[in-house]
Structure 1
Amino acid sequence: MKKLVLSLVIALTGLWASAQSDKKEVEAIKKVIETAYLNGVQNIGNMDLIDAGFHPDFRMQVLEKDGSLSNVSLDEFKQRVKNNIDKGVLPRPEGKQVSVEFLSIDVSKYAATLKMDYILEGKSVYIDYMQLYKFPEGWKIVNKIYYTVGD
């Protein structure tokens, strides 16, 4: 009986430690999204923040209306941000900033997938799916796909 109780205590301790580790990783992932994606790409237009949170081999895959896929590299993604700065879209004024609601975050050791609702002026615009890997320097966004709400 003592061995059974001891085994249960050890198992529960392991589960608790794993849950705490996952919680820490989820918070680190949210911080990358908030810093690199929300501030860097969507609200401010800061290339340093983008470079800190996106892997250089990042790709955004876009499903075109004809059913084909186009791939957007990090350089092309950053050029879109620069274009938004030039057009006066960025930085966004207070009250017009993008926010997200995290719908799910799945972490498996050094790989993660998240689903989030992209919200602009109180309305859901996109559902974003992002994949991240954990590198020695931390979590980096490596891939993005999305769909437009209302399509």
Structure 2
Amino acid sequence: MKGIILSISCLLWLNIAGAQVNEEDLIKNVVNNAYVEGIQNSGSIEDIRKGFHPSFNMLRFMENDVKPYAIEEWIAAIEKRKAEAKPDSKPIRTEAKFLYVDVTGTAATVKLELYREGKKTFTDYIVLYKFTEGWRIVSKTYYRHP
């Protein structure tokens, strides 16, 4: 009897652990497609809109104050940068290193480092919620490395 209970407990634990890993993969996918490729590497505006919630704000620490930056402002800046880019210019790619993904129910946080030309440029803290349509980024803070 103890063996059966132990076996069932192990199976339940593995199922829960597997579900958690799957959620982490889904979250990494959203962050990679919408933020790393979409925002940082001037990718698809459609992917950005799909991964970011309309109420998203990046909270920037500037001059000893916090200044919000809405997703629509960020998208407008990306569109402007794309329009002003020279046709023969090759942008520098941003690479991401995921440090952790923490999930509790329908809330998650991601910590990642961004690199350009091998140099660490930012450490980001991204907050997501799981909506009926899936995980979406709702907030971000960061540290810009010197």
TM-score by length of 2: 0.91
Q: Match for residue 72 of structure 2? A: 75
Match 1:135 to one of 101, 124, 131: 131
Contact kept? 1:127, 1:146, Cα under 8 Å: yes
**CA separation in 2, counterparts of 1:18 and 1:81?**
39
How far 1:77 sits from its partner (Å)? Answer: 1.4
**CA separation in 2, counterparts of 1:89 and 1:143?**
31
How far 1:89 sits from its partner (Å)? Answer: 8.1
Contact kept? 1:45, 1:85, Cα under 8 Å: no
Secondary structure of the residue aligned to 1:93 is coil
Secondary structure of the residue aligned to 1:33 is helix
TM-score by length of 1: 0.88
How far 1:44 sits from its partner (Å)? Answer: 2.7
Secondary structure of the residue aligned to 2:64 is coil
Query: When the two structures are aligned, how many residues end up with a matched partner?
Result: 145
**Mean Cα displacement is larger for which, 43-52 or 17-26?**
43-52
Residue-by-residue CA offset, 1:13-44 (whole Å, 9 max, x unaligned) = 11100111011111111111111112211113
Q: Match for residue 145 of structure 1? A: 141
Secondary structure of the residue aligned to 1:16 is helix
**CA separation in 2, counterparts of 1:83 and 1:42?**
14
**CA separation in 2, counterparts of 1:86 and 1:122?**
27
Q: Match for residue 104 of structure 2? A: 108
Secondary structure of the residue aligned to 1:126 is strand
Structure 1 residues 36 and 89, CA gap change in structure 2 (3 angstroms): farther
1:15 aligns to 2:13 (yes or no): yes
1:28 aligns to 2:34 (yes or no): no
1:42 aligns to 2:50 (yes or no): no
**CA separation in 1, counterparts of 2:48 and 2:57?**
13
- CA RMSD for the aligned pairs? 1.8
Contact kept? 2:42, 2:78, Cα under 8 Å: no
Q: Which runs of 4+ in 1 moved over 6 A?
A: none
Counterpart code for 2:61: L
Match 1:87 to one of 80, 84, 91: 84
Contact kept? 1:118, 1:126, Cα under 8 Å: yes
